[in-house]
Amino acid sequence: MNYNFTKFENTHGRYEDRITITGSNSIGFPTKFYKENKIADYKYVVLYYDNEKKAIGIQFSIDENEPHKFTIIKSKDDYGGSVVVTSFFKKHDLNSKAYKGKYEWKKVETPFGELFVFELREEQT
């Protein structure tokens, strides 16, 4: 019997389509999300917040002139990316440790353009 094996070489990849929040004030874009949404094509994110719904909107951007952008930190091995958004969490009085976890998202058309939106809930898994 013949097999056609291929070696698995992505041991550090996070094959997760959900956006993550860490306890250290970062928003993460795991490998699967990063690749499927072509995040490598962007350099920045602009964040939006709906206080009533506790929803975060993320807009990916290449606009160098946007004054309120956060730079995407990209994995050197193309395993995804993240943004450190301490000022965003502090401005909105959000404790990232209380909201850390993985979040399902949806694309929403807004007056600001297309946003990746997710609603905060405590203790995600």
Tell which residue, 15, 16, 13, 18, has the closest CA to residue 56.
18
pLDDT at 111: 95
pLDDT at 94: 95
Q: Mean pLDDT score of the chain, rounded to an integer?
A: 89
Residue 75: CB partners within 8 Å, gap ≥ 6?
81
Give the rounded percent of residues in the chain with a pLDDT score beyond 70: 88
pLDDT at 5: 66
Start-to-end CA distance of the chain, whole Å, equals: 42
Q: Is the dihedral of CA 92, 74, 61, 114 positive or negative?
A: negative
Residue 7 has pLDDT above 90, yes or no: no
**pTM for this model (two decimals):** 0.85
* Interval 16-26 mean pLDDT: 90
pLDDT at 60: 97
The answer for 123, left when phi > 0, alpha when psi is -120 to 50, beta otherwise, is left
Q: For residue 79, what pLDDT band results from cuts at 50, 70 and 90? A: confident
Longest dimension (CA), the chain: 62
